[in-house]
Amino acid sequence: MTENFELDKYLNDGIEDILRDMKKIALYNPSMSVFMIKFALACKKAENKRRQADLKGEHIPPFLIASISSACNLRCKGCYARQNNICADDKSANELTDSEWISIFKQAAKLGVSFILLAGGEPLMRRSLITSAGRIKDILFPVFTNGTLIDSEYIHVFSKNRNLVPIVSIEGGEDATDERRGEGVYEKLLTAMDELKRNDIIFGSSITVTSKNIEQTASDVFLDEIYSKGCRVIFYIEYVPTDASTKNLAIDDEQRMFLEDRLVALREKFADILFVSFPGDEKLSGGCLAAGRGFIHISSTGDAEPCPFSPYSDTNLRNITLKKAMLSPLFNKIRSTDVLTQEHTGGCVLFEHDDIVRSLIEKKE
């Protein structure tokens, strides 16, 4: 990364862009509009906290990714988490409790974190925790879910707590979605979307971009359909191969350029959709944002990790504060090397260069 790259300015400007787009999304939704006004003020306060920390030499990232559950009710083909034994049918006996997670979320708010992405496994399997998280209004929680567990009770929770934004995973049309996620899942997603729209709940979609579905999921036809369902946030996340047999599903440089070009056109056509491309949008950040540059990942058992695709840790949140975890020796070592700017062919540089990360965690001070 360049010496004069201003990371903090990039991150703060990025948050301003997100807030601006979310305000446009919420324009015709009174409940969301009221929340966005209050949340924008909270973001300004959080930015000031991060700026004060930077003056002390303590970089606080504005984002966290929290995998709050190791359990999932689906068995998606090519799932990275299952392949690496990070999630299973049942939860881990060592998962953080609701109170432990809420403590972490409150510490995050106090430090100046503005966004916590809730992931899994399937996060909606932690109903009481999701409900409790909604009470922490200074944090926006995008909830990355397979969508099959959205019921009337969750509709009520999302309606009451506008800082909980469901992000429903979809692979494209019915054939593509059911082929990866299981028969009948696509219809369940459409039903969930209809219920969310009927209750004026702003929601988004997360699309795992592969070499097989990239053209369909970036097409006007597909986006017109989910837009009509009420989707107003789109995450394009490049597929990370689970092993050598699935490398053919990772997009290549030509397809990556295709997606970049399409995003320019899509952002112009769908002015009231927030589009996020990962890791595509990281290009402008001087390198990967993992390991505390822009975010850290917390596993279901409390390990502080560089990112979900780099499950290495020297710190557990059961034994240390979130602030200290952000300053972990492993994160400092990763940021002090050039690994975050290494070339890579998949969706995650740390996954592809995990030998470097492993060598850093094994390296003694």
d(CA 144, CA 120): 8
pLDDT digits (tens, 9 = 90+) for 1-43: 333 446 677 678 878 888 888 888 888 788 889 999 999 999 9
Longest dimension (CA), the chain: 56
Amino acid at 351: F
The answer to whether the peptide bond before residue 279 is cis (omega within 30 degrees of 0) is yes
- 221-230 burial by CB neighbour count: b if 16+ within 10 A, else e? ebbeebbebb
Distance CA 15, CA 73 (A): 33
Domain locations along the chain:
7-362
pLDDT of residue 3: 38
pTM: 0.91
Neighbour-count burial of 354, counting CB atoms closer than 10 A to its CB (0-12 exposed, 13-18 middle, 19+ buried): middle
pLDDT (tens digit, 9 = 90+) per residue, 101-127? 999 999 999 999 999 999 999 999 999
Give the helix/strand (H/E) hosting 276: strand 274-278
Residue 67 pLDDT exceeds 50: yes
Chain segment 156-180, per-residue pLDDT in tens: 999 999 999 999 999 999 999 999 9
**pLDDT-wise least confident of 111-125, 139-153, 235-249, 278-292:** 278-292
User: Ramachandran region of residue 22, left (φ > 0), alpha (ψ -120 to 50) or beta?
Assistant: alpha
> How confident is the model over 209-248, as pLDDT tens digits?
999 999 999 999 999 999 999 999 999 998 887 777 788 8
CATH fold, domain 7-362, is TIM Barrel (3.20.20)
Residue with tokens 């862009």: 17
Place of tokens 């597929």: 239
Q: How far apart are CA 327 and CA 52, in angstroms?
A: 16
- Among candidate residues 306, 311, 354, 308, the one with its CA nearest the CA of residue 328: 306
Q: For residue range 180-192, what is the model confidence (pLDDT) as tens digits?
A: 999 999 999 999 9
